[in-house]
Amino acid sequence: MNVASVVLPAAATVAVIALVACQAAPAPETQVAATTVPPSPTAAPTPDAAPLSLGPITAQTVLVDQVGYLPTLPKTAVVTGSDAASADTFQLVDTRTDRAVFAGRVGALTKDSDTGQPLRSADFSSFTESGSYTVVVPGVGRSPEFRIGTDVYAQLGRDALDSYEQLAVLAPKGWQTASVKDRTSNQTVNVTGGWPDAGDYGRYMPSAASALGTLLLVDDLFPQQAQADALSVLKRELDWVLTMQRSDGSVYHKVTPLQFGGFDKNSDNIGGQLYAFDPNTADAAVFAAITAEAARVYSASDATYSAQLLAAAQKSWSYLSQQPKAILPPELEGTGGYVYGGDSSQRFWAAAELYKTTGDPSYGQYVSDYVARRSPSIGLLGWTNTDTYGLLSLAFNDAADPALRARITGNLVQWADGTVTSVTSPINPWSDSVSEFHWASNKTGLDNAVLLLIANRAAPNVRYVAAANEQLHFVLGRNALAKSFVTRYGTNTVQNPHNRTMFVIGRLVPGVLVGGPNGDGQDGITPTAQGQRSYVDQLQAYASNENSVEYNAPLVFVTSVLAATAS
């Protein structure tokens, strides 16, 4: 039972979802390590003693996480623009007093691989005092204001989770109450509830499973860091998931109209009659996986609900056992295109979660045989290939074979070490873990952060935590566009997300992450082949400016775990 060599995520390509509108066996749970980073060895100048006269924020020259930094983890700004090459020093200024509290020298000159712009770093990691600050670089400009504090991501984490609830209750009444017909029989079925998937009003089992798979990992692996109301928020989606199971244990693929509704402020345009499409084996497998995982997570707080979830999971597994060959949904009937290549990785994930929840050795034999045949490796978290979800379930399953757990954990640590090397490389001034920007690049970066934090749980290492935090810095403004990709968080934040609900109500729901730079630009609006600059904040730019239940899941995970760790 050999697990194959690790696949690094930096060059991984996220599967495109064509929505026009995803060592030793682990020790008992440990808190995420958060050791204070030592001061830079470079001698720093003395801060100015007198108050400074702060000028206006200079756009896209001194780039920071526009929300803030945790005191004990690395804290850097990126200095760019035509004057960056001649920059020498910087100061960290307390915006309450306009006094410099820290001074340093900027780092060595590098270049942005996309634009050729000169870049330098301003490292103030050794400064740990809570407060509100700006970074001033003489001759270049100053950054937006940001905070340092142990609670700096706490509200963001709460809003990122609550946005699921908000987008559901604010969706048009017609979406919430519309009858749904089975696409094949035309009979009415009750599959109401849940979360709108993305900028449209569709509900898709693949993306729901991936989102729940990541969100449930917080309570499963980090229960002390989980938000107090997380399980009540997730229950809305899980209740909908349960309705998608048919009497034979098969599971519908999606609930959508035949075509997308438009962007219309004057009507509840959801696209017409809603249909439940295409029961199949791949969705039955991910259904079994998430309901089995949820049964484990809810067991302590709601035994009745836990039993209901487990029974549903076992029913779908029984269906799968009677259907050894994959039955897959057609590619593009109705709206959205979640195209499965098969169902083997989905079945593996289901068996792994059922094994961890029940301890039944038959599930253990299934996963052992799968690993022996296929040697799955740590990779992306997503619906197209769910091997990583299954491997994580095995790695933290006390009943699993110790040698297998050790191999998986060793591969996870190896993956994390390689990712840290990439993130901290001198030729990577942005400290991001994504080298090629495709569909949902922001999700890819934050998924990598999720895996780094899980690796830290298995083998505590502050470098894993720091590298995870760097991915959050990127989506919150320390990027080539100086853009925070999360609604209502940051000085320069998303204003026109591709989301029908927010368009109709005329306001932004806070804490919603958009897909981000996408060099493929499938919408014809997003700039193509421009790296980090392949993004545009326009309503119709669904390839880069749409949200998804999948995208917010790693944002909730990372902010929850980091916020609780530092508090």
- The 3-state secondary structure of 437-464 reads CCCCHHHHHHHHHHHHHHHHHHCCCHHH
Asked if the model's pLDDT at residue 31 lies above 70, the reply is: no
Average pLDDT over residues 285-305: 98
Cβ contacts of residue 400 below 8 Å, gap of 6+?
355, 356, 364, 367, 394
Helix (H, G, I), strand (E, B) or coil at 139: coil
Tokens 């493929």 belong to 520
301: number of Cβ within 10 Å: 11
CATH number of domain containing 423: 1.50.10.10
Question: Which pLDDT does position 140 carry in this prediction?
Answer: 94
Cα–Cα distance, 249 to 469 (Å, whole number): 41
Whether 413 maps to a domain, the answer reads yes
CA distances from 347 to 318, 341, 390, 400 (A): 12, 13, 9, 17
Residue 565's pLDDT is 65
Who has greater pLDDT, 231 or 260? 231
How far apart CA 270 and CA 277 sit, in angstroms, is: 17
- 30 or 551, greater pLDDT: 551
- Give the Cα separation of 361 and 431 in Å (integer): 43
Going across the sheet that includes 254-256, the strands are 188-189, 180-182, 274-277, 254-256, 203-204
Average pLDDT across the chain, whole number = 90
Inform me whether the pLDDT recorded for 387 exceeds 90. yes
CA distance 286 to 211: 11
Pairing of strands 68-69, 146-148: parallel
pLDDT > 80? residue 47: yes
> What radius of gyration, in Å, describes the C-alpha atoms of the chain?
24
Q: Write out pLDDT tens, residues 56-86.
A: 887 789 999 999 999 999 999 999 988 999 9
What pLDDT digit, counting tens, does each position of 188-213 carry?
999 999 999 999 999 999 999 999 99
| Helices then strands, each counted (H, E), the chain | 15, 15
Beta bridge partners of 204: 254
Residue 116 binned pLDDT confidence (cut-offs 50, 70, 90): confident
In this model, does residue 357 exceed pLDDT 70? yes
CA distances from 27 to 87, 457, 565 (A): 47, 8, 18
What is the model's pLDDT at position 173? 87
For residue 267, the model assigns a pLDDT of: 67
Which of 329, 325, 317 shows the shortest CA–CA distance to 279? 329
Spacing of C-alpha 239 from chain mean position: 22
388: pLDDT confidence band, cut at 50, 70 and 90?
Answer: very high
Q: Is residue 504 part of a domain?
A: yes
Instruction: Tell me the C-alpha to C-alpha distance, in Å, between residue 212 and each of 106, 234, 241, 289, 384.
Output: 42, 7, 10, 10, 15
The answer to whether the Cα torsion of 274, 280, 281, 282 is positive or negative is: negative
What pLDDT was estimated at residue 57?
Answer: 87
Residue 414 near residue 460, CB atoms below 8 Å:
no
* Listed residue (155, 11, 7, 14) closest to 443, CA to CA: 14
* 126 located within any domain: no
* Side chain identity, residue 148: I
Please state at what angle helix 402-423 crosses helix 462-475, rounded to 10 degrees. Answer: 50
Separation between Cα atoms, residue 94 and residue 71, nearest integer Å? 15
Identify whether 263 is part of a domain: yes
What pLDDT score was predicted for residue 560?
A: 95
Average pLDDT of the segment spanning 109-114: 86
255: DSSP letter: E
**Beta pairing partners, 188:** 181
Q: Which tokens is 174 given?
A: 């017609």
When pLDDT is cut at 50, 70 and 90, the band that residue 564 belongs to is low
Which pair of tokens denotes residue 392?
Answer: 């994580």
Is residue 313 situated within a structural domain? yes
Structural domains counted in the chain: 1
191 lies in a domain?
Answer: yes
Give the whole-angstrom CA distance, residue 452 versus residue 421. Answer: 12
Q: Is the pLDDT of residue 26 over 50?
A: no
Q: Which two tokens stand for residue 18?
A: 């064509």
Q: Higher pLDDT residue, 42 or 170?
A: 170
Summarize the confidence of residues 304-313 as an average pLDDT: 98
pLDDT at 298: 98
Determine the Cα–Cα distance for residues 354 and 319; give it in Å rounded to an integer.
14
Q: Report, as an integer, the average pLDDT of 295-324.
A: 98
Structural domain for 306, as ranges: 154-566
pLDDT at 49: 79
Neighbours of 41 (CB within 10 A): 5
Question: Residue 17 pLDDT more than 90?
Answer: no
d(CA 281, CA 345): 11
Tell me if 146 is assigned to some domain.
no
Q: Which of 469, 566, 21 is nearest to 259 (CA)?
A: 21
Angle at 22 between CA 18 and CA 25, to 5 degrees: 150
What residues does 493 pair with on adjacent strands?
A: 484
β 131-137/62-63 pair status: unpaired
Among candidate residues 150, 251, 147, the one with its CA nearest the CA of residue 191: 251
Residue 8 has pLDDT above 60, yes or no: no
Whole-prediction pTM: 0.91
Q: pLDDT above 70 covers what percent of the chain?
A: 90
pLDDT surpasses 80 at 271: yes
| 471 confidence band (pLDDT: 50, 70, 90) | very high
What is the C-alpha separation between 486 and 493, in angstroms, rounded? Answer: 6
Please give the residue that has the higher pLDDT: either 262 or 449. Answer: 449
The answer as to whether 271 is a domain residue is yes
pLDDT-wise least confident of 142-156, 225-239, 243-257, 319-333:
319-333
DSSP state letters, 79-115: E-STTGGG--EEEEEETTTTEEEEEEE----EE-TTT
Query: Would you report the helix, strand and coil content of the chain in percent, each value rounded to 5?
Result: 40, 10, 50
Query: Can you name the residues that pair with 76 across neighbouring β-strands?
Result: 123
Which residues lie closer than 8 Å to 458 by C-beta, 6 or more apart?
23, 26, 27, 395, 396, 409, 412, 413
Give the pLDDT confidence of 404-424 residue by residue, as tens digits: 999 999 999 999 999 999 999
pLDDT greater at residue 41 or residue 386 = 386
**2 neighbors 407 (Cβ within 8 angstroms):** yes
CA–CA dist 47, 379 (Å, integer)? 45
Residues paired with 513 in a beta bridge: 486
Q: Each residue of 421-458: pLDDT tens digit?
A: 999 999 899 999 998 999 999 999 999 999 999 999 99
